[in-house]
């Protein structure tokens, strides 16, 4: 597109022309002329800029939606209009992140704009989105605030048809059907040819159990405003779904997604529609998009706010969404430290008798992780419920309230075994770490211990201690000694007498399990040094002497141990 125009001046009068042209076809899409008195040049520039901006948006983007925002004239009013348009653009995207951005911009506009231009209806729509997303304090409070703001908009100007239409829709969410229909009819009376008022009234009629009437109104709205926002096609799809026109509903939802690819509600309703059509794979794919856009989504919460007058319609949609794989309950809150579920390792040997080996690896890892201070691990009884079932890690994360999932497999061939393990971020589905281990099965338990230690060490590198975890794991193949060391260090680092005493006992136990474990001597030395700092040493001189003795022993075992040199 090309916008061109001209300016002519005659004494104190000015004439501005503007025309919007399709650069591919050469056709005029819109043209206008403005004659004004040349009294205040900057105010005039703002006024003409705003009028041209509105006209272009009506022709090229969202139709009359952009023409309904009031404007009086002047720089402040132009700034307010631009803020309102920016916020509206974010609201139209229909996802949590953009709604929060829209809220910030709309609040700025309400704080700074003159009364006639305060975007109360826009802010009402933002609270309405909070209602649907569950991002407010409560759905009831969100809808009450939305209604209050829509009423405030009408208090400024009761002739705003769009505000009446929005208010009617909000009343329908509160199940006040008579008020909802009355406001919708009022909006139509005020603006019989308005696409937006037809949209809002049609959406109200859908929830009121009158989908056939709603479909006709939606189609009129779309004809009047073919560049309308994604919500036109979204709500049109709801009415089509209501009457069982599934293929047409899918088409409408896809059109909504063409306009806004991250439209949460379009993905949600597509999941329900595909489920009703028996297209399980497609339904599950849409359900995954729903959880990507709103990880806290749950059917229990959605059922409470899905306000159809006919309760059976709500039940039909919830049943379909459940079939698509969406969860009834919201995810459990994540612990304040890295949390993980270890799934039963798959037995790839083809020999049922080898099941004990693959299960043993998983159980050893769970037991060892439970003794690792910086990681929260789910118990075996919970994580093993997924054994033998095809399940997505995102679902495991939601069901068990963990951020990470460890899965793997064991394959035995003769006297050799191959173990694979992979650590996955259950929120994103991305792999964080993966490795495989080939071993001779000379001593089954020794192999299990070694592999468990290696896997835990690798996980700590990624989740807690970084490269320090790799250093700490060196020098011993004794799993129990390694775990005692980790627990000892955690207790010493609490910097209190109780923790230090426990750390001293655990460090000594690690040495007893593996006298060649250099790191254990260094952490035992740290407990004697801490006795001096905490005032719990009977003889500071003897404690420091013991530090030297233990650190030198550590370096005898591993002369490359940098931390021991540092401690010395």
Nearest partner of 68 among 203, 212, 228, judged by Cα? 228
Least confident of 178-187, 348-357, 384-393: 348-357
pLDDT digits (tens, 9 = 90+) for 474-509: 778 888 888 888 889 889 988 999 999 999 999 999
Structure tokens at 312: 């059976």
H helices of 332-392, in order, are 355-370, 380-383
Nearest partner of 64 among 190, 185, 196, 167, judged by Cα? 196
Does the pLDDT of residue 265 top 90, yes or no? yes
Structure tokens at 88: 């509206």
Q: How far apart, in whole angstroms, are the C-alpha atoms of residue 392 and residue 385?
A: 13
pLDDT reported for residue 73: 47
What stretch of H or E contains 494?
Answer: none
pLDDT reported for residue 220: 95
Least confident of 34-43, 255-264, 395-404, 429-438: 34-43
Does the pLDDT of residue 30 top 70, yes or no? yes
Does the pLDDT of residue 320 top 90, yes or no? yes
Alpha carbon distances (Å) from 287 to 20, 265, 308, 375: 42, 11, 22, 30
Structure tokens at 311: 């309760």
pLDDT digits (tens, 9 = 90+) for 59-96: 665 555 544 555 444 455 778 888 888 888 888 888 99
- Half-sphere exposure at residue 417, Cβ-oriented, CA atoms within 13 angstroms: 23
Q: Are β-strands 2-10 and 13-21 bridged in parallel, bridged antiparallel, or unpaired?
A: antiparallel
pLDDT reported for residue 469: 63
pLDDT reported for residue 20: 82
pLDDT reported for residue 71: 45
Find tokens 């040199």 and name the residue.
565
Average pLDDT, rounded, for the chain: 87
The confidence band for 468, taking pLDDT boundaries of 50, 70 and 90, is low
Q: How many CB atoms lie within 10 A of CB 112?
A: 13
pLDDT digits (tens, 9 = 90+) for 534-555: 999 999 999 999 999 999 999 9
pLDDT digits (tens, 9 = 90+) for 195-236: 999 999 999 999 999 999 999 999 999 998 887 889 999 999
Radius of gyration of the chain (CA): 33
pLDDT digits (tens, 9 = 90+) for 103-162: 999 999 899 888 888 889 999 999 999 999 988 899 999 999 999 999 999 999 899 899
pLDDT reported for residue 74: 45
Contact 233, 252 (CB under 8 A): yes
- Half-sphere exposure at residue 167, Cβ-oriented, CA atoms within 13 angstroms: 25
Contacts of 169 (CB under 8 A, 6+ apart): 128, 180, 184, 200, 201, 203, 204
pLDDT digits (tens, 9 = 90+) for 350-376: 777 778 778 888 888 888 878 777 778
Structure tokens at 316: 């039909």
Q: Tell me the average pLDDT across 3-27.
A: 85
Contact 346, 409 (CB under 8 A): yes
pLDDT digits (tens, 9 = 90+) for 508-531: 999 999 999 999 999 999 999 999
């Amino acid at each position: 597109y090309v916008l061109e125009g001209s300016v002519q001046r005659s004494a104190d009068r000015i004439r501005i022309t503007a025309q919007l042209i399709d650069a591919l076809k050469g056709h005029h899409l819109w043209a206008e002329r403005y004659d004004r008195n040349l009294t205040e040049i900057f105010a005039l520039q703002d006024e003409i800029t705003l009028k041209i901006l509105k006209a272009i948006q009506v022709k090229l983007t969202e139709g009359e939606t952009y023409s309904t925002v009031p404007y009086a004239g002047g720089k402040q009013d132009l700034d307010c209009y631009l803020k309102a348009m920016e916020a509206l653009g974010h609201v139209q995207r229909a996802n949590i992140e953009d709604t929060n951005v829209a809220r910030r911009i709309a609040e700025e506009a309400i704080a700074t704009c003159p009364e006639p231009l305060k975007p109360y209806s826009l802010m009402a729509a933002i609270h309405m989105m909070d209602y649907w997303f569950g991002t407010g304090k409560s759905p009831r409070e969100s809808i009450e605030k939305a209604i209050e703001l829509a009423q405030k908009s009408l208090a400024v100007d009761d002739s705003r048809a769009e505000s009446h239409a929005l208010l009617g829709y909000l009343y329908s969410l509160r199940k006040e059907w008579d008020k909802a229909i009355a406001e919708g009819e009022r909006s139509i009376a005020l603006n019989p040819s308005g696409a937006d008022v037809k949209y809002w009234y049609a959406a109200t009629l859908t929830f009121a159990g009158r989908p056939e009437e709603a479909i006709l109104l939606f189609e009129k709205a779309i004809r009047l405003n073919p560049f309308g926002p994604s919500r036109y096609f979204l709500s049109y799809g709801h009415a089509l779904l209501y009457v069982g026109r599934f293929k047409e509903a899918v088409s409408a939802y896809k059109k909504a997604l063409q306009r806004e690819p991250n439209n949460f509600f379009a993905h949600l309703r597509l999941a329900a529609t595909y489920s009703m059509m028996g297209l399980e794979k497609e339904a599950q794919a849409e359900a995954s998009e729903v959880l990507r856009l709103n990880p806290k989504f749950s059917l229990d919460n959605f059922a409470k706010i899905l306000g159809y007058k006919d309760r059976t319609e709500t039940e039909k949609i919830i049943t379909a969404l459940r079939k698509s794989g969406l969860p009834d309950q919201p995810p459990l809150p994540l612990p304040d430290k890295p949390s993980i579920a270890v799934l039963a390792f798959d037995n790839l040997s083809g020999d049922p008798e080898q099941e004990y080996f693959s299960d043993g690896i998983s159980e050893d890892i769970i037991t060892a992780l439970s003794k690792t201070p910086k990681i929260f691990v789910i118990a075996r009884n919970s994580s093993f419920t997924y054994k033998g079932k095809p399940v997505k890690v995102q679902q495991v994360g939601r069901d068990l309230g963990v951020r990470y999932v460890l899965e793997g497999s064991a394959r035995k061939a003769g006297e050799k075994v191959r173990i694979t393990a992979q650590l996955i971020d259950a929120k994103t589905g991305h792999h964080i770490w993966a490795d495989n281990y080939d071993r001779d099965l000379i001593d089954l338990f020794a192999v299990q211990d070694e592999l468990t230690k290696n896997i835990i060490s690798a996980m700590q590198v990624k989740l807690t201690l970084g490269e320090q975890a790799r250093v700490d794991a060196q020098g011993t193949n004794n799993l129990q000694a390694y775990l005692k060391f980790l627990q000892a260090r955690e207790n010493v680092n609490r910097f209190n007498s109780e923790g230090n005493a426990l750390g001293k006992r655990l460090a000594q136990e690690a040495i007893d399990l593996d006298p060649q474990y250099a790191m254990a001597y260094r952490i035992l030395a740290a407990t004697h040094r801490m006795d001096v700092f905490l005032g719990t040493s009977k003889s500071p001189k003897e404690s420091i002497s013991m530090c030297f003795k233990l650190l030198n022993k550590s370096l005898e075992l591993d002369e490359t141990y940098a931390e021991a040199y540092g401690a010395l």
